[in-house]
Structure 1
Amino acid sequence: MAIDPKLIDDLNSRRKKVILSGGQEKIDKRHEKGEMTARDRMGYLFEEGTFSEIGMHVRHNCHNFGMGKKEIPGDGVVSGFGLVDGRPVACAASDFLAQGGSLGYMHAMKIADAQKYALKAGIPMVTVNDSGGARLQEGVAALSGYAQVFYNNVLASGVVPQISMILGPCAGGAAYSPALTDFIIMRNSGNAGMYITGPKVIEQVTYEKCTMDDIGSAAIHATVSGNVHFVADSDAHAMDILKRLLSFLPSNNTEEPPHKLNTPLDLSADEGMSDLIPGDNRTPLDVQPIISRLVDNGDFLEVHKDFAKNVVVGFGRICGVVVGIIANQPNVKAGCLDIDSSDKAARFIRFCNAFNIPLVNLVDVPGFLPGKNQERGGIIRHGAKLIFAYSQATVPKVTLIMRKAYGGAYIAMCCKDLGADAVFAWPGAEIAVMGAEGAVPVLYGRELKAVEDPAEKAKRQGELLEEYREAFYNPYVAAGMGQITEVINPEETRAKIAFALRTLLNKKEVRPAKKHGNIPL
C-alpha cells in the first residue's frame, strides 16, 4: 500500500517554503550583489546530493513582542552534514534572509545538534556566520543558546577541526564562537564584519570615534588583531580556501593526517637550495623560497599570512607527509621573535599537536625583539607560550638551523633540549648566546677598558670579534655537544627532513599523567 500522495505533497510544500526562506525576491537581490544565500553556500561546499539537513522544520518558541505568529524558515539557520571531497563534514550556516539570521534558542539548538553530530561522528565542524546577532525578543533564552554553542566549541576543541567563516555580520556574543574555533576565514567585501561593540557604542561609552572598517573589517582582523587566519575575496573563494585547508587535516584527533605515503621518498640532492642562501649571514634571507623547495610541488598553505610576518606558519607535504611548518622570516624585523609572532606560532603548534601533524621548524633568529613596548607588553609570558607549546608537543619535531640561532630564541624555536627529534644545521649556522657585537664588550669589557689608545682598542676589539666568530659562528661546537643531529649541505635539506619524517611517523612519547598543564597567558 503506497503512502498517501497528499502527505508527499505536503512534505514538498513545507520543504519549498523553508528553502525559499525570505522569498525569491530577496534571494535575487542577494545574487545581484554577488553574494550567496545560506543554501547556495551549502550547495557549493558539499558534493551534489550528499547534504543531509538537521532540523529543517524546527520552529522558534518565542511569544514576546508579537513573535508568536511569526514564521522564521528553519529558524534562521541551515545545518547538517555531507561530503566535501569525499570526506564527511558537519556544517551550520546562518540564513540572513530569515529574520536577519538572528540567533534564538531553537536556532542555537540546531547549531548545537550539528556540533554534537560532528563530535559523535568524528568529523570536522564548519560554521558560516552571517547574522544580525542575538534575537532580542528572546532575551536570556538567546543568551542561553549562545552559551551552549560556546560550550560545545570547547568540548570539540582538539577533538575535531573547527573552522569558522565570516561571510556577513558577526557581532557581539556571536563573535566568541569563531574565536573558540581553530581557524577563521573572512570575506573582505560586502557586509562581512566581526566585532564585539560597534562604532556607535564605542563613541557613546569612550567618546572615541571610529568606523566599521577600523574595528571589524577583514583587513584589520588579518593584520592587526590576528583574529582572522585567511581572507577571501568572495563566498566561493572562502569555500575554496576551506576545502584546501581540510585537505591537510585529519577528520579527528584519533586519525593520522591525510599523508600521501605512496609518494616516492626522494633522497636526491636539491642543487637549487644553495642558490637561495646569501653569502653573508647578516644579509636578509627570504624564507618563502626555502619553504617552496621543501614542500611537494611548492604547495604551501600559509596560515595567518598577514599577521606577525616575522614568523611564517602553514601546512604542506614533504614527500607525501603532511607537516606544519614554523619558520622565522628574516625579511621582517630581522626574523626576531616578538609578542605577536610568539602567540601566532604557539597556537599553530598546539593545533598541529592536537591533530597529529608533524612539525618542521626552520630557524634563522637573532633573538627576541628588544624594546620598552615589548617588555611592558609581556614578551616574557608571550615568549613562554612558544616554549610551552613546543615542549608539550609529542608529534614528530624536526628542526633545521639555517643561519642565526641566538640565546633564548634558539631554545624557543625547538632545540634538541626542547624535544626536537632531529636537529639539522647548515654549515654556516651560528649558534651562540648572542651575536659577537653584543658578546665581546661583555666578555672582554675590562680588557678593552684598560687599552687607552683608541686605534689600539679598535684593533683589539676587531681581533676579539673574529675570535668569537671563529669559536661560535659555526655549528660544530653545538654538534660536538650532541645538540645537532647532523651538519648538512643545504642541497641535502629536503632529503634529510623527508627521511627523518618518514622514520618518525610511528613515534611514541610517554608523558607524566596529569589533567593538563597551565599555559602562560
Structure 2
Amino acid sequence: MTSGDPTAPPPARPAPDVEPASDVRGRVARLRAIRELAERGQDEKATAAQRAKGKLTARERIALLLDEGSFHEVEPLRRHRATGFGLEDKRPYTDGVVTGWGTVHGATVFVYAHDFRIFGGALGEAHAEKIHRIMDRAIAAGAPLVSLNDGAGARIQEGVTALAGYGGIFTRNARASGVIPQISVMLGPCAGGAAYSPALTDFVFMVRETSQMFITGPDVVRTVTGEQVTHNGLGGADVHAERSGVAHFAYDDEPTCLDEVRYLLSLLPQNNRDTAPAAPSEDPADRRCEALLDLVPADGSRPYDMRRVIDEIVDEGEFLEVHEGWATNVIVALARLGGQVVGIVANQPQALAGVLDIDASDKAARFVQLCDAFNIPLVTLVDVPGFLPGVDQEHNGIIRHGAKLLYAYCNATVPRISLVLRKAYGGAYIVMDSRSVGADLSYAWPTNEIAVMGAEGAADVIFRRRIRAADDPEAMRRQMVKEYKAELMHPYYAAERGLLDDVIDPVDTRRVLIESLRMLRTKHADLAARKHGNPPH
C-alpha cells in the first residue's frame, strides 16, 4: 500500500503522557497532572545529572531570581512539532525553555530560562517562539528582561528553523536596546551564534567553572590552530570578566550570582521613560568627608585607591562596580547619592596611574551610554595623566577607541557632574566629561592640576633652548618647571577662566554633589532630529 491509499491505517502516534478523561473533574485532574509533569520534568536522570554538575534547574533559578510566589509562567504546555531524526517520540512539555514574568523587589521583570534537562537546552522552533513572545511582552510592558542561559545552541534535528529562531532573538535584542534593561545570566555553556544574544544585552553575569561562552569550541580551535585549551580556559567566567570584557560580573555559585542580579535590578529603571528607583538613606546628605583629606595625596605621582574615595562619598559606602576585573585603570559603578541612583566613572590611579587606554575607553564609553539611555545621572571623578602612549596603542586604534568615550559624553543628556581631584592633563581631561564637552557642573579640589601636560614635559618643550644653553641645565629645568606650575597649573587657573564652576573643599564633596544633583533633576535637553548617530568603532 502507498501512503496515499485511503484504506491505509493512520500512522501510529505516541501514547499520551496522561490518559484523557471525559468529565470536567477528570479533565481538570488531567490538566493538573500535565502541569505537574511539565514542572517536574520527565527525566529524573537528567535532573540528577544537572545537580551532579552543581547546577540548579531552570525553575529553581527562577525562584531565586524573583520575589517568592510572584512567577507567572506562560506556554508551559508548549511542545515542538518536528518529526523524524529521533524527535517524534520526544515531545516534552515546555520544549526546553521556561518563560514568564514575576517581580523583583516588587517591580515587574520578564524572564526566560533554558532547561538543560530537555534536549540540552538546545533551541528549536517552538523553543524560539516562546522566547520571541516573552521578549515582545517585555518590550510592550516596558519592563526588564532577564535570560537564564544554559543551552547547547541550535537544535540540529530542526535545521534552519532553529537558526532562524536565533535571528528573531537577535532582532529583538537590538530593538530592546536602550528601551528596557536586558540582563544575560550565563549558567552553563553558550557556544556559536548563541553567544551573540548575551553580547547584545546590557549586562552579562557568569558563574565560575559551570558557564562558558565562545564562538568556536576547544575542539575546533585545536583542529584549526593546533592550540590546546580547556572550555574554561577558552571561554570561562574569569576569561571574559578579566581579559575579553564580555562579562560584567563573575561569581563562584548560582545563588550568589542571582542575588547580585536582584541587586542590580534594584538600581535600574523599568525602561527608558522611567527613572531609577530612589531609596531612603540614613546617611546624611551634608555628611562631611574628612577622610578624603588623607585618602588622596597632593603629590600627583603617588597612587591611591579611587574605590576608597567612592566609598567615602556615596550613601552608606555601598556601590556596585561593573567590569571590576577588566580595564582596571578606570572604574565604572552604580551607587546612590542622597537616595538617587547615579553612574560613577572614575580614573583609578592604582592601575597604570589611571591613564586612558583602548580597553578603558571602551569600558567607560559603553557605561556612559547605558546611563544616558536609562536616565541615570553621571558623576565623573577625574585624576588622569593622559592617554597611554605606545606603538601597540596607536596601531590598535587608541584614537578610534578614545573617540568612543568622547562621543558618548558629548551625546549624553542626563545630568552630568565632573570633579577633578588631582591631575587632568591633555586630551584625556577633555574626554573625561570636561565643561567643554557638555558637563553641567564642573568642580575641582584645591589639589587639581589642569593643563595640556605635566609641568616637566611642558617645560622640556617650551624652554628647551633655554635649558640647553644654561650653565646648569638641570637647575634651569627645575626653575622652569616651577615657573610653569606657578603660572599655568595652579589650582585656580581654570576657575579664573570660567572652566570650573567652583573649587571645593574635599570634605564638602558629598554635600556639593547631592545638592547639585537635586538642582539638575529636572534637566531637559533637546536634541537635533536624526535617525541615529554614527559613533566611532
**In the alignment, which of 457, 474, 490 is matched to residue 490 of structure 2?**
474
1:182 aligns with 202
Is 1:61 paired with 2:77?
no
| CA contact 1:432–1:472 (8 Å) conserved in 2 | yes
Is the Cα contact below 8 Å between 1:158 and 1:253 reproduced in 2?
yes
2:281–2:315: 8 Å Cα contact kept in structure 1?
no
The answer to whether the 8 Å contact 1:73/1:98 transfers is: no
Q: Within 2, Cα distance between the matches of 1:210 and 1:513?
A: 50
Matched ranges for 1:308-387 at <5 A: 308-387=327-406
- 2:14 alignment partner in structure 1: none
* Counterpart residue number, 1:465: 481
Gaps of 5+ in 1: none
How far off is 1:33 after superposition? 4.0
Counterpart contact for 2:424–2:449, Cα < 8 Å: yes
Q: Which whole-Å deviations, capped at 9, do the CAs of 1:401-436 have from their partners, x for residues lacking one?
A: 000000000001000011111111000100000011
Quote how far apart the aligned CAs of 1:474 are: 2.4
Q: Given residue 412 of structure 1, which amino acid in structure 2 is its aligned partner?
A: V
How is 1:230-245 mapped onto 2 (pairs within 5 angstroms)?
230-245=249-264
Amino acid at match of 1:413: M
* 1:415–1:423 CA contact under 8 A, matched in 2: yes
Q: Deviations over 1:221-268 (max 9, x none)?
A: 000000000112111111101000001000101001112367686224
Within the candidate set 101, 105, 119, 1:99 is matched to 119
- CA deviation after TM superposition for structure 1 residue 199, in Å: 1.1
Corresponding residue to 1:199 among 206, 218, 227? 218
1:22 CA drift (Å): 4.2
Question: Does structure 2 conserve the Cα–Cα contact (< 8 Å) formed by 1:265 and 1:499?
Answer: no
Q: Residues 268-305 of structure 1, C-alpha deviation per residue, up to 9 Å, x if partnerless?
A: 42222212121422111210110001110011000000
Work out which of the residue numbers 468, 474, 485 in structure 1 matches 2:501: 485
Q: Secondary structure at the match of 1:431?
A: strand
8 Å CA contact 1:78, 1:92 repeated in 2: yes
SS class of match (1:6): helix
Contact 1:72–1:99, Cα closer than 8 Å, also in 2? no
| Aligned residue among 125, 142, 145 for 2:165 | 145
Query: Aligned residue for 1:83?
Result: 103
- Secondary structure of the equivalent of 1:484? coil
The answer as to whether partners of 2:386 and 2:424 remain within 8 angstroms in 1 is yes
Q: In the aligned structure 1, how far is the partner of 2:243 from the partner of 2:338? A: 35
TM-score after normalising by structure 1 = 0.96
Contact 1:64/1:138 (CA < 8 Å) preserved in 2? no
Give the 5 Å matches for 1:263-342.
266-342=285-361
Q: Which range moved further: 23-32 or 200-209? A: 23-32
Q: Assess if the C-alpha contact under 8 Å between 2:153 and 2:190 holds in 1.
A: yes
Q: Give the residue type in structure 2 aligned to 1:240.
A: D
SS, match of residue 87 in structure 2: helix
1:510: how far off? 1.4
Moved more, 212-221 or 175-184: 212-221
Per-residue displacement from partner, 1:429-477 (whole Å, max 9, x unpaired)?
00000011211111111222333x3xx2111111001011112332311
Larger radius of gyration: 2
Alpha carbons 1:222, 1:231 under 8 Å: kept? yes
8 Å CA contact 1:263, 1:319 repeated in 2? no
Matched residue type, 2:227: E
Q: What TM-score results when the alignment is normalised by the length of structure 2?
A: 0.94
Deviates more, 1:254-263 or 1:463-472: 254-263
Deviation at 1:70, TM superposition (A): 1.7
* Preserved CA contact (<8 Å) 2:298 2:447: no
For structure 2, which runs of at least 5 residues remain unmatched after alignment? 1-22
TM-fit CA distance, 1:516 = 1.1
RMSD, aligned CA = 1.4
Q: How many residues align?
A: 515
SS of structure 2 residue aligned to 1:301:
strand
